[in-house]
Protein backbone atom coordinates (compact mmCIF):
# COMPACT_ATOMS: atom_id res chain seq x y z
CA UNK A 1 0.00 0.00 0.00
CA UNK A 2 1.08 3.60 -0.40
CA UNK A 3 3.56 4.78 2.20
CA UNK A 4 2.11 8.31 1.98
CA UNK A 5 -1.47 8.55 3.28
CA UNK A 6 -2.19 11.64 1.14
CA UNK A 7 -4.02 11.64 -2.18
CA UNK A 8 -1.14 13.57 -3.76
CA UNK A 9 2.21 14.45 -2.26
CA UNK A 10 2.93 18.14 -1.58
CA UNK A 11 5.38 18.12 -4.51
CA UNK A 12 2.74 16.70 -6.84
CA UNK A 13 0.24 19.34 -5.68
CA UNK A 14 2.77 22.10 -6.37
CA UNK A 15 3.35 20.82 -9.92
CA UNK A 16 -0.38 20.86 -10.65
CA UNK A 17 -1.05 24.17 -8.91
CA UNK A 18 1.64 26.04 -10.83
CA UNK A 19 0.28 24.79 -14.16
CA UNK A 20 -1.90 27.07 -16.25
CA UNK A 21 -4.99 24.90 -16.14
CA UNK A 22 -8.68 25.28 -15.49
CA UNK A 23 -10.11 23.72 -12.36
CA UNK A 24 -11.47 20.85 -14.46
CA UNK A 25 -8.08 20.21 -16.05
CA UNK A 26 -6.34 20.43 -12.67
CA UNK A 27 -8.75 17.82 -11.35
CA UNK A 28 -8.03 15.57 -14.34
CA UNK A 29 -4.29 16.05 -13.91
CA UNK A 30 -4.54 15.23 -10.20
CA UNK A 31 -6.49 12.04 -10.93
CA UNK A 32 -3.97 11.08 -13.63
CA UNK A 33 -1.04 11.62 -11.24
CA UNK A 34 -2.72 9.61 -8.49
CA UNK A 35 -3.50 6.93 -11.08
CA UNK A 36 0.05 6.87 -12.37
CA UNK A 37 1.49 6.46 -8.88
CA UNK A 38 -1.05 3.78 -7.97
CA UNK A 39 -0.66 1.91 -11.24
CA UNK A 40 3.13 1.85 -10.82
CA UNK A 41 2.70 0.41 -7.32
CA UNK A 42 0.15 -2.17 -8.44
CA UNK A 43 2.38 -3.23 -11.33
CA UNK A 44 5.42 -3.49 -9.11
CA UNK A 45 3.55 -5.51 -6.48
CA UNK A 46 2.04 -7.87 -9.05
CA UNK A 47 5.17 -8.18 -11.20
CA UNK A 48 3.24 -7.06 -14.27
CA UNK A 49 3.46 -4.08 -16.57
CA UNK A 50 0.74 -1.47 -16.27
CA UNK A 51 -0.84 -2.45 -19.57
CA UNK A 52 -1.26 -6.03 -18.27
CA UNK A 53 -3.18 -5.00 -15.15
CA UNK A 54 -6.78 -6.12 -14.90
CA UNK A 55 -9.56 -3.74 -13.82
CA UNK A 56 -10.27 -5.90 -10.75
CA UNK A 57 -6.65 -5.54 -9.58
CA UNK A 58 -6.91 -1.77 -9.87
CA UNK A 59 -10.30 -1.65 -8.11
CA UNK A 60 -9.04 -3.84 -5.26
CA UNK A 61 -6.06 -1.52 -4.79
CA UNK A 62 -8.24 1.59 -4.66
CA UNK A 63 -10.66 -0.02 -2.21
CA UNK A 64 -7.69 -0.60 0.13
CA UNK A 65 -5.87 2.70 -0.48
CA UNK A 66 -5.28 4.39 2.87
CA UNK A 67 -5.58 7.88 1.35
CA UNK A 68 -9.20 7.12 0.44
CA UNK A 69 -10.33 5.55 3.71
CA UNK A 70 -11.47 8.47 5.87
CA UNK A 71 -15.20 9.06 5.44
CA UNK A 72 -15.34 7.60 1.95
CA UNK A 73 -18.11 5.14 1.20
CA UNK A 74 -18.06 2.14 -1.12
CA UNK A 75 -19.99 3.96 -3.87
CA UNK A 76 -17.38 6.71 -4.01
CA UNK A 77 -14.62 4.12 -4.20
CA UNK A 78 -16.40 2.45 -7.10
CA UNK A 79 -16.80 5.82 -8.83
CA UNK A 80 -13.15 6.70 -8.15
CA UNK A 81 -12.04 3.29 -9.43
CA UNK A 82 -13.74 4.13 -12.71
CA UNK A 83 -11.89 7.46 -12.84
CA UNK A 84 -8.57 5.68 -12.34
CA UNK A 85 -9.40 3.12 -15.02
CA UNK A 86 -10.39 5.95 -17.37
CA UNK A 87 -7.05 7.65 -16.64
CA UNK A 88 -5.25 4.83 -18.37
CA UNK A 89 -6.28 6.32 -21.72
CA UNK A 90 -4.67 9.75 -21.23
CA UNK A 91 -1.66 8.12 -19.54
CA UNK A 92 -1.21 5.96 -22.65
CA UNK A 93 -1.46 9.10 -24.82
CA UNK A 94 1.08 10.91 -22.63
CA UNK A 95 3.45 7.94 -22.84
CA UNK A 96 3.06 7.84 -26.61
CA UNK A 97 3.68 11.59 -26.91
CA UNK A 98 6.85 11.16 -24.83
CA UNK A 99 7.90 8.02 -26.72
CA UNK A 100 8.04 5.94 -23.55
CA UNK A 101 5.91 3.53 -21.56
CA UNK A 102 3.49 4.49 -18.80
CA UNK A 103 5.82 3.15 -16.11
CA UNK A 104 8.47 5.69 -17.11
CA UNK A 105 6.23 8.77 -17.03
CA UNK A 106 6.94 11.56 -14.57
CA UNK A 107 4.58 13.96 -12.85
CA UNK A 108 6.10 16.79 -14.89
CA UNK A 109 5.32 14.98 -18.16
CA UNK A 110 1.72 14.42 -17.08
CA UNK A 111 1.24 18.08 -16.13
CA UNK A 112 2.97 19.29 -19.32
CA UNK A 113 0.63 17.15 -21.44
CA UNK A 114 -2.45 18.57 -19.74
CA UNK A 115 -1.07 22.11 -20.20
CA UNK A 116 -0.36 21.50 -23.89
CA UNK A 117 -3.84 20.08 -24.37
CA UNK A 118 -5.38 23.10 -22.63
CA UNK A 119 -3.39 25.51 -24.83
CA UNK A 120 -4.55 23.66 -27.95
CA UNK A 121 -8.16 23.92 -26.77
CA UNK A 122 -7.77 27.67 -26.18
CA UNK A 123 -6.28 28.18 -29.64
CA UNK A 124 -9.08 26.26 -31.31
CA UNK A 125 -11.66 28.42 -29.50
CA UNK A 126 -10.05 31.64 -30.74
- Could you tell me the pTM of the whole model? 0.82
Q: How much of the chain, in percent, has pLDDT values that exceed 90?
A: 51
Return the pLDDT at 78.
84
* 90 neighbors 27 (Cβ within 8 angstroms): no
Angle at 29 between CA 77 and CA 22, to 5 degrees: 115
Q: How far apart are CA 46 and CA 53, in angstroms?
A: 9
Amino acid sequence: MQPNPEFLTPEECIEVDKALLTAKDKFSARVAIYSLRSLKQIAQTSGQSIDQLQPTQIEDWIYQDESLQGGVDREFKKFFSQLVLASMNPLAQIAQANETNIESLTVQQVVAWFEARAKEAMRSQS
